Structure 1
Amino acid sequence: MTLSTCKPYTYLLVMSFVVAATAAASTDDPPQADSGAIPPGYSTTVTGTTHDFDYFMGSGWLTTQHRLKETGVGSKEWYTYPATLCATHYLGGMATVDEMYAPTKGTSGLTLRAFDPAKRQWSIYWVSSRDGLLEMPPVVGGFHGNQGEFYSEDHDAHDRPVKVRYLWTIRDQDHARWEQAFSYDNRTWETNWIGDFVRGDRAKLCDDGRPRR
């Protein structure tokens, strides 16, 4: 039976269904994130060892930092600035502290890492010289080979909930990269901070384990 031979009420019912289906298919609204979904790779069970950060100890590091100007809005604009980083381990390697100093910005940041031998995981905390606050919660995880993965749930600067990912990549004996990414939709990652590191002379770059001013 074609539409031309339908009874009037049948015709109206069919056309109503077609119009509704077309409207649903052409809507401009983005798909809603599945509240039970997680972005690729997200896990708070990644483990490591107390030697994960040995690579970074005993040297000073020259670094170029790249920060996305605004997160969660699709921005493609970045700030880029140089910095110096010096790292020291404590408690036989169970804890590490490094300070990064950015002379062109006049700011510093401190990273505290603590290893839980029962869980075989690192917890990583950040403190900025802007406010002196220990950021919570920490990201947790560890290294497998030359790749480190660390994750947590948090809120961004606008108090929007995000999942957080740190990735460390040891490229060779003297080069490494760190990346921070947020997931706003539980499906994709937006990288918003990248640090490229080159090993330097600690005697020239650091004073008592801190970046030379």
Structure 2
Amino acid sequence: MNQTDGAVPGLSGLHDFDFLVGQWQAHHRKLKQRLANNHEWIEFEGTLLNQPLMGSYSNTDDTVLGVPGAPYRGVALRSFDPKTQQWSIWWLDSRTPSDPLDPPMVGGFHNGVGTFYGEDTVKGKRVRARFLWSNITPTSGHWEQADSPDEGKTWETNWVQDITRVR
């Protein structure tokens, strides 16, 4: 769902994440090992609470991840840049709260699909990372994360999250 504010030039993507405001249940599937030719997934539940900030120019998620034997929390912070018409997304992880934030994932929505790219580190090696938001309705959505060890020629999806609105 790509909501736009067509009346104000430079703000056409400002409301792209409005769908996410509220409280959600999340079902996660995550590869046990990234970029290791591994096909073993772990599944777990979680929650997500999203709220807008700065007049909808940013928003934040408080996320609870019920990973079996090692639950943790995280915060996603998103910020919209009207000059570039793109969103930047940062992640703060409760397991490493003092680490510097990674460079942001950057992108936007087109035809109802949000695509965001950035850099990540897997086993000490820099890789290209991608987030996709899709199948967005007022009561559900789908997010996935993928890595590319070859600058985007191939992608391995390593995390899938399906959310259902609680309120």
Normalization by structure 1: what TM-score?
0.68
Could you tell me which runs of 5 or more consecutive residues in structure 1 were left unpaired when the two chains were aligned. 1-46, 202-213
Deviations 1:95-123 (A, max 9, x none): 10111113454310110001111111111
Deviations 1:48-84 (A, max 9, x none): 6110100011x21000111110011110001111001
Amino acid corresponding to residue 13 of structure 2 in structure 1: T
Residue in 1 aligned with 2:5?
Answer: none
In structure 2, C-alpha distance between the alignment counterparts of 1:172 and 1:73, rounded to whole Å:
34
Q: How does 1:167-178 map to 2 (within 5 A)?
A: 167-178=132-143
Does residue 123 of structure 1 match 2:123? Answer: no
Moved over 4 A (4+): none
Could you tell me which runs of 5 or more consecutive residues in structure 2 were left unpaired when the two chains were aligned. 1-10
Matched residues, percent identical? Answer: 37
Instruction: Name the SS for the 2:135 alignment partner.
Output: strand
Q: CA deviation at 1:134?
A: 4.8
Deviations 1:118-161 (A, max 9, x none): 111111000111011353111100112320000013322x1112
Q: How many residues align?
A: 153
Residue in 1 aligned with 2:15?
Answer: 51
What is the RMSD of the two structures over their aligned residues, measured on CA atoms? 1.7
**Stretch of structure 1 that moved more, 104-113 or 162-171:** 104-113
- Which protein is richer in helix relative to its size? 1
In structure 2, C-alpha distance between the alignment counterparts of 1:199 and 1:164, rounded to whole Å:
27
Q: CA deviation at 1:175?
A: 1.4
Q: How does 1:96-107 map to 2 (within 5 A)?
A: 96-103=59-66, 105-107=70-72
The higher radius of gyration belongs to: 1
Q: How does 1:11-30 map to 2 (within 5 A)?
A: none
Normalization by structure 2: what TM-score?
0.85
In structure 2, C-alpha distance between the alignment counterparts of 1:55 and 1:116, rounded to whole Å:
18
Residue in 1 aligned with 2:4?
Answer: none
- Which protein is richer in strand relative to its size? 2
Residue in 1 aligned with 2:155?
Answer: 189
Residue in 1 aligned with 2:126?
Answer: 161
